[in-house]
C-alpha cells in the first residue's frame, strides 16, 4: 500500500512539474473578438497564452487577429508555439505595435513541428521584437516563426527583429524564420536578426534559413551564423542573411546585408549574404568573416543569374581553391554589374582566381562607392549612402544601406 501511495505521489509531483513548466492560460476572456476590425488585445503573459490556445485549438481561422498592447516577459517557463504544426496553423495578423517579448524559451528538440514563438504561419506578423530568446528544434526553427507558408499576398514578416538569443536546429534554421515558402508574394521586409544561429545540415541563415518563391527585402543580420557537421550530413547552404534561396524573377532579394561572422568548417555553399545559387540578388553587402570547406563566397556561396550593386569587405577562407571575395564558384554571376571587394579579403572575386567584371578596391576607394552604386540604382528613394564609422574602424567610410521607404 505504501509503495502504491509513494508511486502515486511521485506521478502527481511529476505531472505538476510538467504543467508548471509551460506558460498557463487563465480563464479570463481576451479583450476583442479576433476579427480584423476587432482584434484580440494582448497585455500580459496570460493573454498571450490564451491567444495561443485559441489558435491551437482550431476553429474560425478568420478570427485569430491580435495586437500586442504591452511588453511581455516569458521568463521562467517553456513556451508552446502558436499555430502548432499543420493541424492548427496561424492564419491571422499579429501586430506587435513595437512591443517586445522577452526571455522566451522554446524546446522542440524532440518534436518534428516547426519551432519558434509561432510554429506554422499562414498569415502575417508585424512590428514585433523578440529579445533574449532560446529556441531549439529540429527542422524549421526561428525565433519568431518556424515556418511561414502561403499563396496569398500579404503573408510574411514585416518590421520585426530578434536579438540577444540563440536559435538552434538541424536544417531550415534562421534567426527570425526557419522556412519561408510561397506560391504567391510572401515577404520578409524591414527586419533584422542579432541572435546566434546554429545549424547542422542545410539551409542555415541569419535572417531566414530556407526561402522558396518568396521575397526578402530591407533586412539584415548582425548575429554569428555557425554550422557544424551532424552525425549524418555535412552542412551546406549557409548564409549570413539567407541559407538556401530558390526565387523566381517575380521575387526580390534586395537591400540585404550581413555584419556577423559566418562559420562552417566542414560546410559547402557558404556565403556572407546567401549560401546557395540565387536567381536575382541586388543591393547587398557583407562585412563579416566568412569561412567554410568549399564554395565559400563573401556575398554568395554559389552562382547568381543576376547580381548587381554588391560588395564585400569581410575576409573569406576555405579549405580548397573554391572561394572568392564575391562568389564561391568560378562562374560567379552570369549577368552582373557593380561588384566590388576589398583588396586582401580573398585572392580573387570568384573561385579559381577568376575576377570576371568585379573590381578590387582599397578602403580609400570605398569612400565614393555609394555614389557609384546609387547612380545605377534607378528605383527611388536613394538607398546607398556613405557614412563614417558605421562599419569596421571608426576612420572608415563605407557605403551602407538605409531602409527603403515603402508606402
pTM: 0.89
pLDDT at 191 over 50: yes
Taking only the tens place, the pLDDT of each residue in 89-142 is: 999 999 999 999 999 999 999 998 999 999 999 999 999 999 999 999 999 999
User: How many helices (DSSP H) and strands (DSSP E) are in the chain?
Assistant: 3, 37
What is the arithmetic mean of pLDDT over 210-231? 92
What is the arithmetic mean of pLDDT over 238-254? 87
For residue 279, the model assigns a pLDDT of: 87
pLDDT at 13 over 80: no
What is the arithmetic mean of pLDDT over 175-179? 98
Q: From 60, 52, 56, 59, select the one nearest 25 (Cα to Cα).
A: 52
In angstroms, the CA 287 to CA 180 distance is 25
Q: Give the pLDDT band of residue 151 (cuts 50, 70, 90).
A: low
Share of the chain above pLDDT 70, in %: 83
Higher pLDDT residue, 386 or 218?
Answer: 218
Residue 405: Cβ within 10 Å count: 10
**On the CB side of 162, how many CA atoms lie within 13 Å of its CA?**
32
For residue 248, the model assigns a pLDDT of: 65
In angstroms, the CA 356 to CA 49 distance is 55
By DSSP bridging, strand 384-388 and strand 397-401 are antiparallel
pLDDT at 393 over 60: no
Taking only the tens place, the pLDDT of each residue in 26-83 is: 545 799 999 999 999 999 999 999 999 999 998 788 789 999 999 999 998 899 999 9
Q: Give the pLDDT band of residue 277 (cuts 50, 70, 90).
A: confident
What is the arithmetic mean of pLDDT over 369-397? 56
For residue 385, the model assigns a pLDDT of: 66
CA–centroid distance for 71 within its chain: 22
Domains located in the chain, CATH noted: 26-364 (2.160.20.110)
pLDDT at 404 over 90: no
In angstroms, the CA 377 to CA 276 distance is 24
Q: Give the pLDDT band of residue 3 (cuts 50, 70, 90).
A: very low
DSSP class of residue 96?
-
Give the three-state DSSP class for 45: helix
Place of cell 504591452: 70
For residue 382, the model assigns a pLDDT of: 59
For residue 251, the model assigns a pLDDT of: 78
Q: Give the pLDDT band of residue 23 (cuts 50, 70, 90).
A: low
Averaged confidence pLDDT in the chain: 86
Q: From 303, 223, 226, select the one nearest 266 (Cα to Cα).
A: 226
For residue 390, the model assigns a pLDDT of: 47
DSSP class of residue 6?
H
For residue 394, the model assigns a pLDDT of: 36
Taking only the tens place, the pLDDT of each residue in 306-354 is: 999 899 999 999 999 999 999 999 888 889 988 999 999 999 999 988 9
Amino acid at each position: 500500500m505504501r509503495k502504491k501511495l509513494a508511486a502515486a505521489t511521485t506521478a502527481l509531483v511529476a505531472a505538476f512539474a510538467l504543467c508548471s513548466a509551460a506558460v498557463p492560460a487563465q480563464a479570463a476572456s481576451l479583450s476583442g473578438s479576433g476579427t480584423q476590425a476587432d482584434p484580440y488585445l494582448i497585455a500580459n503573459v496570460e493573454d498571450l497564452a490564451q491567444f495561443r490556445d485559441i489558435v491551437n485549438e482550431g476553429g474560425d481561422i478568420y478570427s485569430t487577429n491580435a495586437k500586442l498592447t504591452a511588453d511581455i516577459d516569458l521568463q521562467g517557463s517553456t513556451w508552446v508555439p502558436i499555430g502548432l504544426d499543420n493541424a492548427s496553423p496561424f492564419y491571422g495578423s499579429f501586430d506587435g505595435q513595437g512591443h517586445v517579448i522577452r526571455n522566451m524559451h522554446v524546446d522542440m528538440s524532440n518534436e518534428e513541428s516547426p519551432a519558434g514563438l509561432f510554429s506554422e504561419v499562414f498569415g502575417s506578423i508585424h512590428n514585433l521584437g523578440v529579445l533574449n530568446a532560446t529556441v531549439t528544434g529540429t527542422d524549421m526553427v526561428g525565433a519568431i516563426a518556424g515556418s511561414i507558408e502561403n499563396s496569398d499576398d500579404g503573408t510574411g514578416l514585416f518590421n520585426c527583429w530578434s536579438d540577444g538569443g540563440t536559435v538552434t536546429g538541424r536544417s531550415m534554421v534562421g534567426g527570425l524564420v526557419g522556412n519561408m515558402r510561397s506560391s504567391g508574394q510572401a515577404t520578409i521586409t524591414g527586419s533584422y536578426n542579432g541572435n546566434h544561429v546554429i545549424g547542422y545540415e542545410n539551409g542555415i541563415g541569419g535572417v531566414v534559413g530556407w526561402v522558396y518563391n518568396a521575397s526578402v527585402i530591407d533586412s539584415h543580420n548582425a548575429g554569428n551564423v555557425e554550422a557544424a557537421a551532424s552525425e549524418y550530413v555535412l552542412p551546406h547552404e549557409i548564409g549570413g542573411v539567407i541559407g538556401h534561396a530558390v526565387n523566381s524573377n517575380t521575387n526580390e532579394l534586395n537591400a540585404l546585408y550581413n555584419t556577423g561572422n559566418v562559420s562552417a568548417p566542414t560546410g559547402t555553399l557558404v556565403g556572407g549574404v546567401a549560401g546557395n545559387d540565387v536567381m536575382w540578388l541586388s543591393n547587398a553587402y557583407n562585412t563579416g568573416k566568412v569561412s567554410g570547406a568549399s564554395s565559400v563566397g563573401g556575398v554568395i556561396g554559389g552562382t547568381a543569374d543576376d547580381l548587381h550593386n554588391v560588395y564585400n569587405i569581410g575576409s573569406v577562407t576555405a579549405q580548397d581553391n573554391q572561394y572568392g571575395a564575391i562568389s564561391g564558384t568560378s562562374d560567379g554571376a552570369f549577368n552582373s554589374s557593380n561588384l566590388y571587394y576589398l583588396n586582401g579579403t580573398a585572392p580573387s572575386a570568384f573561385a579559381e582566381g577568376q575576377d570576371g567584371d568585379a573590381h578590387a578596391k582599397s578602403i580609400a576607394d570605398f569612400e565614393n562607392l555609394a555614389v557609384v552604386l546609387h547612380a545605377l540604382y534607378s528605383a527611388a528613394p536613394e538607398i546607398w549612402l556613405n557614412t563614417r564609422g558605421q562599419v569596421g574602424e571608426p576612420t572608415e567610410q563605407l557605403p551602407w544601406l538605409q531602409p527603403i521607404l515603402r508606402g
